[in-house]
Amino acid sequence: YKQISRYKSTSSHSFNDFGPGNHQNKNTGAAAQNKHVHKPYKEMQRAKRAQAHRSVLINTSSSISVPLIYKECRQYGKINHVCHFKDEKNSVLIEFASPSSVRELLSSASHFQNPQNIPVQSRLLHFQPRDLLRSSVNKLKVHTVEPPKLELSRLHFAKTISDQMQMLHLTHQISDFDSRLHFFVCSCLEDSLSGLFPHCIVEPFGSSVNGFGKSGCDLDMEVDFLPNNKDSRFQTKSKSMKFRTNKHKGNEREFAQQILQVLGDVIQHFMPTCAGVHHILNARVPIVKFFHKASSLECDLAFKNPSASQMSELLYFFGEIDDRVRPLVATVKEWAHAKNLTRSNPGPWPSNFTLIMMVLFFLQSRRQPILPTFNHLHRLAGQDERIVIDGINFSFTTNLSRLPVTQNDEGLGELLMEFFNFYTTFDFTKYALSLNDGSATSKPDSAPLYIPNLFELGHNVSRNINDSHLLGLRHGMEAAVYSLETNSNRESNNWGILSILHPGDNERPIQMRVSDLFHQDNEEDLHTSNISEMNSDAGMADSEK
């Protein structure tokens, strides 16, 4: 039971080996540049995938049974890691040292004796302690992991605005437990599809893995039946013997829609604890949305989406280049949410992704740039980093040693102020934010905000934003400059970033028409905003029992 206690002692900030960044070596100046150990994205993905496949998620009706779960599981082999998440479900995520322990545990588990239950086998289990054991458990102390919380008022005691921003980032960043759960849910889906597609891969992308995720963020995942991988598993073994298969009809998009229709149905009917399945197939990127009750995760499943997954790796790398990137993004995102300038559901307001792009562009645009342009990363791509999929070039280097160290030593507080100043004077009517060459380029169309997708320049990643919300963002930034200027003194109640994180004073109410919710190519997004409401009453069904 030691592992539970050990997790407890490190859990509040969960700086696991592969977490984004290493806060201990962080510093806001150029001198500290690149001192923290760089964790390559692919290595992080590989390690977390393997971890997830060796894990089981067990729920139990009472937290008192948690030590018993540990005792029971210990019989099947060495346990690497245990997290007990104390919510109404009492979920315990157990990572075994060996996949054979998981197999043994599953082969010993039984099904509920209820004829209505579909007898699906998965690594989601329910634990019912036997009465005999239950009596001995009172002597064991249960340690739990609470979701990290930052009382904003604690920021008052920081010494500088930079420290406040670091605190905010460290407390809000995706926790080790969150990250394990995200990879675990992907691995469960992979298991269920593996009968038909043994090489299938389900991987998270977006905020789960791009280093800018917040604890409790949604899970975006993509499924690929036969990844184009150099892995020896995918090499053709025999040139003469081929698998017989069906041919799909229609183009790639139609195929993705058909597959997601079927996967959505499979998830709804056969995947334990999945609810609120919603097919959103006419969006630019077709997805299936669902709620995974055992992990309390809102999930979006897309069919292979190389642009989004490469973007996740690129964003992760931008965050690795300089220690100031992630705290600045975290503060800007938090500010935008506090001031109601953005929301978690899609709509005509800036998404988190747009805000991240705005911060990255700003950091590329400093007199002494903090971040390189994408074109620069593209040119530096080594032979093994050259990727072209369906005619789109995704090549960029992720080798930090190929990049020069920035001469910029601005502190985080200064950068925050400059970020707001930069965009209050930016001419959005004329210019697009091109992260490819790190400069303002003329806009190809009349969209209020134009940020070309780094890989597909003809796509505007912020095409959903309307004039009113862009104006709101700009007003919010002007107000933020004013608040930061007038609250720089540590004596004042809401000094530093506290002055921009409290809702109230300066926020401008969002004026919204229903038609604003519909945007080009994405008319079904309106439905997605209702999903979380639908799911909120989808509590943990005990129907299995």
The full DSSP string for 100-129 is HHHHHHHHH----S-TTS-----SEEEE--
Beta carbons of 371 and 363 less than 8 angstroms apart: yes
Residue 312 binding: pick among Mg ion, ligand CTP, none (C-beta 5-8 Å cut-off by kind):
ligand CTP
Instruction: Please report, to the nearest 10 degrees, the dihedral formed by the alpha carbons of residues 262, 267, 271, 277 taken in order.
Output: -160
Residue 8 or 527 having the CB closest to ligand CTP: 527
Residue 183 binding: pick among Mg ion, ligand CTP, none (C-beta 5-8 Å cut-off by kind):
none
Shortest Cβ 306–ligand CTP spacing (Å): 10
| Contact letters for Mg ion, residues 106-135 (x by CB under 5 A) | ------------------------------
> In whole angstroms, how far apart are CA 437 and each of 210, 361, 367?
21, 9, 14
Interaction residues for ligand CTP, span 73-102 (CB under 6 A)? none
Residue 313 binding: pick among Mg ion, ligand CTP, none (C-beta 5-8 Å cut-off by kind):
none
Q: If binding is defined by CB under 6 A, does position 528 make contact with ligand CTP?
A: no
| Contact letters for ligand CTP, residues 170-209 (x by CB under 6 A) | -----------------------------------xxx--
Shortest Cβ 475–ligand CTP spacing (Å): 22
Residue 159's Cβ-side half-sphere holds a number of Cα atoms within 13 Å equal to 0
Q: Please enumerate in sequence order all residues whose Cβ is within 8 A of that of 327, keeping only pairs 6 or more positions apart, or say none.
A: 162, 165, 166, 168, 169, 412
Q: If binding is defined by CB under 6 A, does position 210 make contact with ligand CTP?
A: yes
Interaction residues for ligand CTP, span 219-238 (CB under 6 A)? 220
- Among all residues, whose Cβ is closest to ligand CTP? 206
Report angle CA 101, 106, 110 to the nearest 5 degrees.
150
Interaction residues for ligand CTP, span 284-343 (CB under 6 A)? 307-308, 311-312
Beta carbons of 443 and 450 less than 8 angstroms apart: yes
Shortest Cβ 344–Mg ion spacing (Å): 9
Q: Looking at 192, 207, 295, 364, which residue binds Mg ion (CB under 5 A)?
A: 207
Beta carbons of 528 and 289 less than 8 angstroms apart: yes
Q: If binding is defined by CB under 5 A, does position 310 make contact with Mg ion?
A: no
Query: CA-CA distance, 135 to 76, in Å (whole number)?
Result: 23
Rounded to a whole number, what is the distance in angstroms from the first to the last CA of the chain? Answer: 27
Q: Please enumerate in sequence order all residues whose Cβ is within 8 A of that of 73, keeping only pairs 6 or more positions apart, or say none.
A: 56, 58, 79, 94, 96, 101, 105
Largest CA distance in the chain: 78
Shortest Cβ 220–Mg ion spacing (Å): 4
Query: CA-CA distance, 68 to 53, in Å (whole number)?
Result: 22
Instruction: Find the part of the chain contacting ligand CTP (CB under 6 A) among 6-14, 214-222, 224-232, 514-522.
Output: 214-222
Instruction: Find the part of the chain contacting ligand CTP (CB under 6 A) among 93-101, 141-149, 166-174, 345-353.
Output: 345-353
Q: Looking at 353, 394, 428, 495, which residue binds ligand CTP (CB under 6 A)?
A: 353
Amino acid identity of 525?
Answer: D
Query: CA-CA distance, 534 to 509, in Å (whole number)?
Result: 26
Residue 307 or 399 having the CB closest to ligand CTP: 307
Please give the structure tokens belonging to residue 342. Answer: 């953005």
Residue 506 binding: pick among ligand CTP, Mg ion, none (C-beta 5-8 Å cut-off by kind):
none
The full DSSP string for 373-400 is -HHHHHHT--GGG--EETTEE------G
Q: Looking at 11, 28, 164, 352, which residue binds ligand CTP (CB under 6 A)?
A: 352
Instruction: Find the part of the chain contacting Mg ion (CB under 5 A) among 56-64, 106-114, 141-149, 206-214.
Output: 206-214
Residue 3 or 462 having the CB closest to ligand CTP: 462
Burial class of residue 283 (count of CB atoms within 10 Å of its CB; 0-12, 13-18, 19+): middle
Instruction: Please report, to the nearest 10 degrees, the dihedral formed by the alpha carbons of residues 205, 207, 212, 213 taken in order.
Output: -140
Residue 163 or 220 having the CB closest to Mg ion: 220
Q: Looking at 171, 351, 365, 397, which residue binds ligand CTP (CB under 6 A)?
A: 351
Residue 185 binding: pick among ligand CTP, Mg ion, none (C-beta 5-8 Å cut-off by kind):
none
Interaction residues for Mg ion, span 36-55 (CB under 5 A)? none
Residue 210 binding: pick among ligand CTP, Mg ion, none (C-beta 5-8 Å cut-off by kind):
ligand CTP
Q: How many residues bind Mg ion (CB under 5 A)?
A: 4
Beta carbons of 379 and 437 less than 8 angstroms apart: no
Interaction residues for ligand CTP, span 433-492 (CB under 6 A)? 453, 461
| Contact letters for Mg ion, residues 216-255 (x by CB under 5 A) | --x-x-----------------------------------
Question: Which residues lie near ligand CTP (CB under 6 A)?
Answer: 205-207, 210, 213, 217-218, 220, 307-308, 311-312, 351-353, 453, 461
